[in-house]
Amino acid sequence: MTGGRLRLLAWLLALAGFLTACTQGAGLEQSPTASPAAATSPAATTTAGTAGSPPGAADTALAPPQATIPAADPAWTVAPTPAPAPAPAPQPFALDLYREGDFVPQYTFDWCVAASIQMAHNLIDDTGGGTWADRTQQNELWEMARARSSDSFNGANPFGWAQVLTEAGMGPYAVVSIPGYEEALRTAARAITETGRPVGLVMWSGRHAWVMSGFESVGDPRQFPDSSVTGIRVLDPLYPYGSGQWGPSPAPNALLTPEQLAIQFVVREPRRWSSGLAAGYLLVLPTAARS
């Protein structure tokens, strides 16, 4: 009986060893991380053979990295760019320098420049120092302007007009020629707005003088350089007589449309008098703040 028991025990031990070997083989064949490339990779061999590596360390090293999207950091979040504010639209604008009593008629058919100088003074002077309207003074101003003019058919031309305005303390004034009609109106309106002083208009191709005392426009000329002038306020010292060729004189400080003004405010003829300026619409223009 003793020999039989020993043989039985040896047989059971051998069977147990066989089953253990089969179980380990089956586990290697079913491993989800096994692949031919991994089995022969030098990196896998090195990792698997590292002493003291925990179970599964080789599988972790061989697994491809998983892409992750970091959470947005509120401190680094870029706010959307706000839409630009719309540009302001031009609004109706008006400026009028005229006060009752500023108009002065010319006392002879030759003294339009002198009367225009008197009216410019009245429009500029807001100190109550007295209105320039005297006939004797108008004659003196005409002689001054004529003495400062050249090639003027023995009269006063726009250069003498501008010089007397400047010398009398109303300047600086300068004579300018603007080739385009609308640009001439914008130039005059902008000068009135920026200086607070009137503009001289050389009428009838260089034969007559008016004063521009104000205007209406779509947009302030200082803010909108391309503003459209819709009305022009004028003083014609020949009122109420007018001209048989050019038309009637408007009432003092009348508001004319550009079309109405264009009948008498026309390009200066170079043959009328030599100015050295290119042909265009002539303005006796305030050019800067008063000195």
Residue 97 lies in a domain: yes
Q: How confident is the model at residue 88 (pLDDT cuts 50, 70, 90)?
A: confident
Residue 207 lies in a domain: yes
Q: What pTM was estimated for this model as a whole?
A: 0.70
Residue 257 lies in a domain: yes
Q: How confident is the model at residue 39 (pLDDT cuts 50, 70, 90)?
A: very low
> Residue with structure tokens 């008063």?
290
- Residue 190's pLDDT is 97
The whole-angstrom separation of Cα 166 and Cα 197 is: 12
- Contact of 284 with 158, CB cutoff 8 Å: yes
pLDDT digit string (tens) for 232-276?
999 999 999 999 999 999 999 999 999 999 999 999 876 656 678
pLDDT digit string (tens) for 3-38?
555 555 555 555 555 444 444 444 434 444 444 344
Sign of the torsion angle spanned by Cα atoms 68, 72, 73, 79: positive
| Number of domains into which the chain is organized | 1
Give the domain extent around 206.
Answer: 92-286
Residue 213 sits in a domain of what CATH number?
3.90.70
Residue 64 lies in a domain: no
